[in-house]
Structure 1
């Protein structure tokens, strides 16, 4: 078991974010769970009753710069440092064919999936620099892997579903991965590790009912990776099984 640390988890009201908060609390870590409306999440309310000393709930909409700024102020009032930031909040978009997708999906999806993680990272960077672990994890997707999509076109890709539909989502995750690499290069001299993580095709509200793995299994695998990552791994892209994913 790892030494207890302070984690900030965005998109914590349901799905992977809620399960991540749950498993972190169960092993003794301190969690700041951020969501657009945390009080409306029965799961977060239950966790708060179970772990009143180790869980703080923060109202934070990652797509709203003023909300992120206010959330950052609140977090700085609660903790003098943050060990690990997990940028989990995201949206999936529709499953329309790329050639038939509503182009209006692009700005909305990029605002949440790319700009949001950047805003949260920037707001919390002073606290992360003071943390013990100094880690930032970006919850991405193999669907954003350009290398895997290219392999799929040749019939050799690992995830066939990654080449179909959800263009805005896939493009946003590819952009998020570039954000990961850019931040990793920029923050390496500060000792901060930045990594992308694919949680797998998970059965959740966002992932649908046809997932290949459930949320508890995905999070258990992700935590093993999170705990094993060191500064030499900065800029890498892992999946929840611990395998490196091609960008």
Structure 2
């Protein structure tokens, strides 16, 4: 009997934190072929070890999500492979975001990584997504980008996440006719380098929740803002 073909996951920012745990979670589940991108594979020791352990199921690619040539080369390397799930996980948070200490150059970089890169990845992989039976784009956002939660501080991060939410909302409408589901997801307040040691949940719990939600999405869910536990998040 021929075993069913594995589904294909494209995962950005896979070298640490939530991204690394997502790679582990999808591998543990079975049935997934993972193309994991990170800026510097040579320094991604934990991810490289996963690839050595699962050589037929995990491929690590050099990928700079803010660079058009890098993204195009990554997409070309996949050829005609159908992409069942694009998980835009790469993100950044710079420390200079108070009224007395705003780094505008870093803010611009944050917009490139958190806002423009998910759209760049989605458009580059649009042909491969169209080839899948149930294509999904999940972009890791944050409750800090919700306009329903008025807060101050972290201006660059909050604005970059609010912007990607709106971009993905529009993308959901534009790609609905092509059968591609697009959602944004709050991963929880996670104990990572970005979230800090006092955060509420660990990366394993966040990744398990994201996996559970993302793998069950259908076109009926497109345009939603979800939390890692599947609950709706206010925009």
Residues 137-172 of structure 1: CA deviation (Å, up to 9, x unaligned): 0100000000122xxxxxxxxxxxxx2421101000
Counterparts in 2 of 1:137-148, with a 5 A limit? 137-148=138-149
Counterparts in 2 of 1:199-210, with a 5 A limit? 199-210=187-198
Counterparts in 2 of 1:67-82, with a 5 A limit? 67-76=70-79, 80-82=81-83
Partner of 1:60: 63
In the aligned structure 2, how far is the partner of 1:239 from the partner of 1:95? Answer: 27
In the aligned structure 1, how far is the partner of 2:120 from the partner of 2:97? Answer: 29
- Divergent runs of 4+, >6 A: none
Partner of 2:185: 197
Residues 151-208 of structure 1: CA deviation (Å, up to 9, x unaligned): xxxxxxxxxxxx2421101000000001110100000000100000010111112222
Partner of 2:85: 84
Unaligned runs of 5+ in 1: 150-162
Q: How many residues align?
A: 230
- TM-score normalised by length of structure 2: 0.93
Displacement, 1:104? 2.3
Partner of 2:24: 22
Partner of 2:112: 111
Displacement, 1:96? 3.5
Partner of 1:154: none
Partner of 2:39: 36
In the aligned structure 1, how far is the partner of 2:169 from the partner of 2:23? Answer: 26
* 2:66 partner SS: coil
Asked whether the 8 Å contact 1:33–1:56 carries over to 2, the reply is: yes
Partner of 1:183: 171
- TM-score normalised by length of structure 1: 0.89
What's the Cα RMSD here? 1.4
* 2:232 partner SS: coil
Partner of 1:221: 209
Unaligned runs of 5+ in 2: none
In the aligned structure 2, how far is the partner of 1:126 from the partner of 1:179? Answer: 19
Counterparts in 2 of 1:126-141, with a 5 A limit? 126-141=127-142
In the aligned structure 1, how far is the partner of 2:21 from the partner of 2:78? Answer: 21
Displacement, 1:103? 2.3
* 1:213 partner SS: coil
